[in-house]
Each structure stands twice: as C-alpha cells, then as structure tokens.
C-alpha cells in the first residue's frame, strides 16, 4: 500500500489520511479544541507559551462563553519584567487553596477585588487570666482564658505558644498590677527573657504595663510570660486586664 504524504493542502480535506494517523492534527496558525488536552511524558512535561517578539507579553487566559475571566500574564523584559495573576470578573478575587496529608482542599489565602488579603488559618492566639492573681513564684503565667487559638499552637497545659514555622512573629503582653503596687512582666523565648516591661506603681489602683514586639522564632521555639521580681499581677477580668497575644507575620 502506497503511503500518502500529508501536506497543508490535503490534511484537512483527505478524510482517509486523517483516519489513517488516528487524529486530526491541529492547525499551527491557531485552532479550537472541544475536549481535554493532556501532556504525558516519562520525563517532566512542559508547556511553553513563547513569543519571538520581546515587546509583547505571553498570556494564558481561561475563558467563559468567549470572555476572558482568569489569566496568567508574563511581561517581557522590554515591557517591564513581571508576572501577574488576573481576574476580570467584576468584584472577583483570587483564592489560594492547599491541602495536607490528602485532606480536602481549603482556602488558605484570599485576595478580594478591592485588594484586601485574608489568611484565615494564620497562626494566632489571644489569651488572658480570668480569676486568681499571679506572683513571680508562678512561672510561666497560667493563662486560663483562651479567646483565639487559630492552629492550636497555644498549649493550655504549658501556657506556651509554639512557632509552627520559622519566621517573624508579633508578640504582645499587657498586665495590671494589684492595688497601687508596681509590676514587672516579661515575654520569654524558650524560657529566656526576650522583653521586659514595668510600671512604678502609683497613688491610684489599676496601674498597668504593656509591650509589643516583632520577634524572630525558629520552628518549635516557644513564647510564654512571667511575672518578674517580687511583684504580683492581677488575674481578674480576663485579657482586658492581663493577657498575651502571638501572631505569625511571615
């Protein structure tokens, strides 16, 4: 059987030739596919979107009923190098979803249409002391009011916030003295003092002291708090009087 050479003039019209090769080749100048497109390779498969003109951008757009909705855009060097995720839906945002250990996907970061970023699973705790004054003989401060504990990184038995990953953390403490007495408290990293704050007492009740810092923690470092010297911290009315806060910034 003689083989027929496939050319640009007979590939579209010659049904026998198309049947013989098992598929209809795509038009290199542009084509529309109505089914799925798969890249399969025993090595790493790559999909390239390339232009020989360095003054234009390379874009990958997802469409709905002929309208661009979401795209990945890459600017050329001559046009100002950069990469963009774009959502053209009115009021539309961009969500980042991940999963761990085969669990279902969950949205871990959202950029809404107004440019506001939310991260609902960012490690965070806000704790306080509700009932019972605390002296320097009790270390760490036994916070017994948990207002927020996103990620479960504050341990209600050890009264520590443990860093799940290395990074910069916002940490703060506020504490109220008993009566007119002075008070000094500290935030600690791994049991060593990182931040001290104190007041010198006064002629009126409810003297308080507070401090807030951005601290670098390695993974599994922990933060807790301690009353210093021979002072006593008020344990009434929860975090509004005495409390600690930790939050992963990044």
> Above 80 in pLDDT, residue 27?
no
Q: Tokens 């050329």 sit at which residue? A: 76
Residue 201 burial class via C-beta count within 10 angstroms: exposed 0-12, middle 13-18, buried 19 and up: middle
> Above 70 in pLDDT, residue 64?
yes
> Above 50 in pLDDT, residue 61?
yes
Q: In which domain, by residue range, is 179 found?
A: 124-248
Nearest Cα neighbor of 210 from 162, 243, 161, 170 is: 243
Q: List pLDDT tens digits, range 87-145.
A: 888 778 888 889 887 778 889 999 988 889 999 999 999 999 998 999 988 899 999 99
The proportion of the chain whose per-residue pLDDT surpasses 70, expressed as a percent, equals 88
For residue 4, report the phi and psi dihedrals to the nearest 5 degrees. -100, 125
191 located within any domain = yes
5 located within any domain = no
Q: List pLDDT tens digits, range 162-199.
A: 999 999 999 999 999 998 899 999 999 999 999 999 99
- Alpha helices in the chain, H assignment, sequence order: 15-21
Secondary structure (DSSP) of 157-210: TTTEEE-SSSEEEEEEEEEEBSTT--EEEEEEETTEEEEEEEE---SSS--EEE
2 located within any domain = no
Q: Tokens 């002296």 sit at which residue? A: 135
- 82/187: higher pLDDT: 187
* Residue 172, C-beta contacts closer than 8 angstroms, at least 6 positions apart: 210, 211, 212, 213, 244, 245
21 located within any domain = no
225 located within any domain = yes
Q: What global pTM score does this model have?
A: 0.79
Structure tokens that stand for 187 in this block: 């935030």
Nearest Cα neighbor of 143 from 244, 248, 247 is: 244
What is the number of alpha carbons within 13 Å of residue 37 lying toward its C-beta? 7
83 located within any domain = no
- 245 by DSSP, 3-state: which? strand
Q: What DSSP character marks residue 26? A: P
Q: What is the mean pLDDT of residues 54-58?
A: 76
160 located within any domain = yes
What is the number of alpha carbons within 13 Å of residue 198 lying toward its C-beta? 14
Measured CA to CA, the distance from residue 80 to residue 224 in angstroms comes to 47
102 located within any domain = no
The CATH number covering residue 211 comes to: 2.60.120.40
Measured CA to CA, the distance from residue 51 to residue 180 in angstroms comes to 74
> Above 50 in pLDDT, residue 20?
yes
Q: What is the mean pLDDT of residues 205-222?
A: 94
> Above 60 in pLDDT, residue 13?
no
Measured CA to CA, the distance from residue 238 to residue 192 in angstroms comes to 25
In this prediction, residue 18 has a pLDDT band, given cuts at 50, 70 and 90, of low
CA angle 202, 214, 228 (to 5 degrees): 40
- pLDDT, position 1: 44
Measured CA to CA, the distance from residue 51 to residue 181 in angstroms comes to 74
Specify the number of domains making up the chain.
1
* Mean pLDDT rounded to a whole number for the chain: 86
Measured CA to CA, the distance from residue 130 to residue 234 in angstroms comes to 9
């Amino acid at each position: 059987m003689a083989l027929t050479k496939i050319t640009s003039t007979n590939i579209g019209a010659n049904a026998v030739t198309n049947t013989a090769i098992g598929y209809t080749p795509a038009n290199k100048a542009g084509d529309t596919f109505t089914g799925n497109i798969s890249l399969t390779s025993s090595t790493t498969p790559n999909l390239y979107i390339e232009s020989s003109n360095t003054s234009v951008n390379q874009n990958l757009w997802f469409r709905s009923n002929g309208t661009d909705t979401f795209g990945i855009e890459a600017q050329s060097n001559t046009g100002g190098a950069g990469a963009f995720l774009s959502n053209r839906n009115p009021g539309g945002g961009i969500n980042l979803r991940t999963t761990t250990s085969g669990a279902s996907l969950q949205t871990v970061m959202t950029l809404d249409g107004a440019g506001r970023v939310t991260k609902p699973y960012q490690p965070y705790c806000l704790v306080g002391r509700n009932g019972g004054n605390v002296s320097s003989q009790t270390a760490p401060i036994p916070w017994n009011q948990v207002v927020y504990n996103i990620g479960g990184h504050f341990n209600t038995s050890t009264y520590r916030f443990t860093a799940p990953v290395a990074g910069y953390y916002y940490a703060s403490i506020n504490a109220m003295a008993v009566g007119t007495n002075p008070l000094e408290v500290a935030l600690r990293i791994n049991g060593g003092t990182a931040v001290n704050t104190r007041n010198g007492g006064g002629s009126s009740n409810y003297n308080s002291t507070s401090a807030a810092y951005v601290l670098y923690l390695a993974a599994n470092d922990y933060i807790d708090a301690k009353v210093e010297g021979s002072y006593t911290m008020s344990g009434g009315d929860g975090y509004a009087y005495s409390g600690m806060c930790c939050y992963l910034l990044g």
